[in-house]
Structure 1
Amino acid sequence: MSQKKIKVLFANIPTPGNRFVVDLQEGLKPYADVTWDCDLFWSKKEDFDIVHIHWPEYLSFEMESYLLNDDPLPKELWEELIDCLEYWKKHAAIVYTRHVQYPHKRHDEEFLNLYRVVSSYCVNVAHFANYSIKQFKSFYPEHTHVNHEVIPHQNYTSLPDKSTKEEARSYLDIDSKAKVLLVFGAIKEDEKSLIDKAFDAVPNENKVLLAPGWKVQKRRINYIRLREWVFKFDCWLASLNKKKRTNLGFIQEDEAHFYLNAADVLLIPRTNELNSGNITLGCTFGLVVVGKDSADIGEILKETGNPVFAVGDDESLNQAVNKAFELSKTNLGEQSKALAYKEWSIEKISKMYYDFYLKSIAKD
C-alpha cells in the first residue's frame, strides 16, 4: 500500500554546510515533496501540509543579518513575521526541530523573544534528547499546546568514508602509535583553554591534537604592519607544530574521513550549547566521544556509554579524557558505529519525521 505523499516547506535560508537539513530533505523523498525555500514562507504562496522551521533566526536573510549587531528587529519585520505565522497556522501545521536553545551569535532578550514567539505557533517540536523537552517546558511554560517528540540526529553515512586508520594517518603524516585527540568543526576562543587541558590529559607523550578549526588570532598591536607580520609569523609557527595541528581552515566533506579515521577520541568542547551533531558524527565513524555531563550532549553520551566531564572541573575533565582513551582500546567505538548505522539511519529517522508530520497534521 503506497503512502500518501505530503507537501513540506523547509522555511530556512540555504545552509549547504549543514548536513542535517540536506540529508533530511533527501531522506524524506519517499514520503514527502520537500521544498526548501525561505521566500515561500514570507510570500505565503503555494499550499503545504507542513511548515518545518529549524532555526528562527534563519527564516530570512534579513533576520539573519541582525545576528551581527545589537539592533532590535524592526517593528515592520516583527509585524510581517507574525502575519506569516498566523497565515501558516491557518493553512498548514507548523513544526520545529530544536537544534539549539538560542542562537549561538546572539541570545539577548530580542532573540530570546523571537524563539518564544516562533515556537508558540508550533503544534509539534522535535528534540534530540529528553533534556531538551524539559528545558523547553521550563523556558516556555505557557506553551502547553505544544506536543514533543524525541527524534535522534541521523547518522553521517552521507559523508565519504574511504580510508582506514593506517591510510588516514599516513595521509596526515601521523605516527601509527600516537594517541590522537580530534576536535572537529569551528572552535571558539573560550574553548581553547578546555582543549589544551584535555590534550594535556592525554596519557601519552606520543600524542597529536587534530583541531583544524582552531584559528590563530591576530594580536592586539596598534601598528598595522607589525600586527600583520606577527600574525603571519604565528601562522607559520602553527604550521610547523606537528603535535598540535591547528589553523588548517575549513575541512571539505570529501577529506573529513581522514581526520575522523586518524583519531582515537573525539572531544566536544562545547560547554554552553544544548546539542552537538559531532556526537553522531563520532559514533558514525566508530570513535569514542567525550563531552560535558549536561544538556542533550551529556544525556546522549551517557546513553551510548561514552565518558563525560563536569564543566569547570579540571580533574573531572582529566578523568574523562583518560577514560576515553582506555575505551578506545575496547569495542565501544564499533558498538557506537553499529548503533549509528542501525538506529540513526536516514531511512529510519526520515520515517520518524514522516510519522511526526502526520501526527502534526492530525493535531492541527
Structure 2
Amino acid sequence: MNILFAYDLSETDNQFVQIHIRLLQELGCEVTVSMDQFWNPTRTYDYMVINWPECFFDWKPNISDEQVQQLNASLKRWKRGSTRIITFLHDEYSHFGRGANLNLLFDLCYRHSDVLIHLGNYSKNKYTNLYPDSQHHLIYHPLYTDFQTDLGKHAARIQLGVTENVYLVFVPGGIRKPDEVDYCLEIYRRLPVKNKQLIFQKTNFLAKPQSLKSFIDLKVWGYYLFHMNKFKLLENIGFLQGFMEKDVLSAYFAASDLIIIPRTDILNSGNILLAAQFGKPMIGSGAGNMGEMLMILGQQCADPQFIDKHITTVPENNPDQIKHAVERYANNDVIKKQWLQILKP
C-alpha cells in the first residue's frame, strides 16, 4: 500500500502528521511525505492524503485566481488516475483569513475527495449531507508523544516560579480573535476561587510593534501596555507572546489547576487531548467536535452565547480518571483500526 502525504514536514510541526505516518508504517504501508510529489508525481500511489488546504501555497492568506485554478487542475488530474484522495477535515475554513479564493481551496479539496476523515461525529454528520459522493470516516486525534506529561505539578511550579497557594488557570494555544479572550475572561471571573491567576499562552496581537515610527504606533502600544498592566494588577491575568518551547509549555500544563480551551466557533482543538494527557480538568465552548471530546472526558462545556446563564463551578480534579479516559479514546490501536476501515480493499 503506497500512500502520499501532500505535505512538507518541518521542525516546528505539531505531531499530528508525523504520528499518522508512523502508525501507517506500522500497518505495513509505504508512506511518502512530499509536496513536490503532489504537484509533480514521479510514481503512482494508492492513496493521497491532504491535511490543511492552506499548505499548498505556503499558508498564505491571499490566494490568486491562478492558484485556485492550479490546485483544481492538479486535483482533477489525481481524480482521473487510480489514486484515491483522502482529506482530513480539520477546519471548515482557514484560521488565517476568509478570502473567497482561500475558501475555495477548502471547497476544492473537500469536493474532490473520495474519503473525508472527521475527528468527531459532529462534522461527520454535517458533512455527510454536504458531500454525499464522498465516504465519511472517523479517525480521532492521536495522543501527543513529545510533551512531558509525567511532569509533576510541584516541580513545574518551581520551574515557572508559581507558588503553591495559587489556583492557576492556563489558556493554551494562540489567541485568534478578541472573542476568545472575552470568553476566557468570563470563565475566569466566574470561578468561585480565591487567589487565582490566569495565563494566556500566546497573544501576539498584544505584542509591542516591531517599530514605533509614528505617534499612532506609540499610542496603540501605550493602550495595550496600559490594559495589560491593568489586567495584571487588578485581576492577576498575564498575556504571553511568541513561540513557547515544548518543555516550557509542558510546565504550564503540569502546573495548572484548570485549562480553558479558548476556541469558540471551530471544529477541533488538539489542546483538549493534550490537557487530558496531563490529567487536567478543563472548560470549553463545546463547539463543533469539541463538545463530544469534552463529554467523553467528563469535562464542562460552557456555550459562549449563554455564558451569562452558565453556572461555573470549580471542576473536580481527577487526573488519573482523565488520563485513562483519553487513553481509551485515542490510543494507537484505536486509530490503527480506524485507518484499516478506510484502507481495506
Q: Which runs of 5+ in 2 are unaligned?
A: none
TM-score by length of 2: 0.87
1:289 maps to amino acid? M
Are 2:107 and 1:116 equivalent residues in the alignment?
A: yes
Which of 320, 324, 337 pairs up with 1:334? 320
Q: How well do the aligned residues superpose, as a CA RMSD in angstroms?
A: 2.8
Which of 62, 69, 89 pairs up with 1:79? 69
Query: Using a 3 Å threshold, how does the CA distance of structure 1 residues 74 and 157 change in structure 2: closer, same or farther?
Result: same
Query: Using a 3 Å threshold, how does the CA distance of structure 1 residues 88 and 225 change in structure 2: closer, same or farther?
Result: closer
Are 2:114 and 1:126 equivalent residues in the alignment?
A: no
Q: Deviations over 1:45-87 (max 9, x none)?
A: 22211100011121232xx32x1x3xx5323x33332332122
1:92 maps to amino acid? T
**Is the CA contact 1:239–1:246 (under 8 Å) kept in the aligned structure 2?**
no
Are 2:81 and 1:88 equivalent residues in the alignment?
A: no
Are 2:160 and 1:169 equivalent residues in the alignment?
A: no
Percent identity, aligned pairs only, is 25
Which of 175, 188, 195 pairs up with 1:199? 188
Tell me the distance in 1 between the aligned counterparts of 2:285 and 2:239.
22
Which of 128, 142, 146 pairs up with 1:137? 128
Are 2:300 and 1:307 equivalent residues in the alignment?
A: yes
Q: CA deviation at 1:107?
A: 2.8
- 2:5 corresponds in structure 1 to 10
Query: Using a 3 Å threshold, how does the CA distance of structure 1 residues 60 and 7 change in structure 2: closer, same or farther?
Result: farther
Tell me the distance in 2 between the aligned counterparts of 1:60 and 1:43.
15
Which of 198, 201, 205 pairs up with 1:212? 201
Query: Using a 3 Å threshold, how does the CA distance of structure 1 residues 48 and 350 change in structure 2: closer, same or farther?
Result: same
Q: Deviations over 1:83-117 (max 9, x none)?
A: 32122221311101111111112234433333222
TM-score by length of 1: 0.83
Residues 323-362 of structure 1 aligned to structure 2 (within 5 Å)? 325-328=314-317, 331=318, 333-353=319-339, 355-359=340-344, 362=345
Q: Which runs of 5+ in 1 are unaligned?
A: 1-5
**Is the CA contact 1:309–1:316 (under 8 Å) kept in the aligned structure 2?**
no
Mean CA deviation greater in 230-239 or 151-160: 230-239
- 2:49 corresponds in structure 1 to 52
Query: Using a 3 Å threshold, how does the CA distance of structure 1 residues 165 and 39 change in structure 2: closer, same or farther?
Result: same
**Is the CA contact 2:119–2:138 (under 8 Å) kept in the aligned structure 1?**
yes
Tell me the distance in 1 between the aligned counterparts of 2:196 and 2:112.
50
**Is the CA contact 2:89–2:118 (under 8 Å) kept in the aligned structure 1?**
yes
Runs (4+) of structure 1 exceeding 4 A deviation are: 217-222, 231-242
Tell me the distance in 1 between the aligned counterparts of 2:286 and 2:220.
40
Query: Using a 3 Å threshold, how does the CA distance of structure 1 residues 73 and 202 change in structure 2: closer, same or farther?
Result: same
Tell me the distance in 2 between the aligned counterparts of 1:221 and 1:83.
45
How many equivalent residue pairs? 337
**Is the CA contact 2:88–2:117 (under 8 Å) kept in the aligned structure 1?**
yes
Tell me the distance in 2 between the aligned counterparts of 1:274 and 1:225.
35
**Is the CA contact 2:279–2:322 (under 8 Å) kept in the aligned structure 1?**
yes
Residues 175-254 of structure 1 aligned to structure 2 (within 5 Å)? 175-190=163-178, 191-215=180-204, 216-217=206-207, 222-223=214-215, 226-227=218-219, 230=222, 237=229, 243-254=236-247
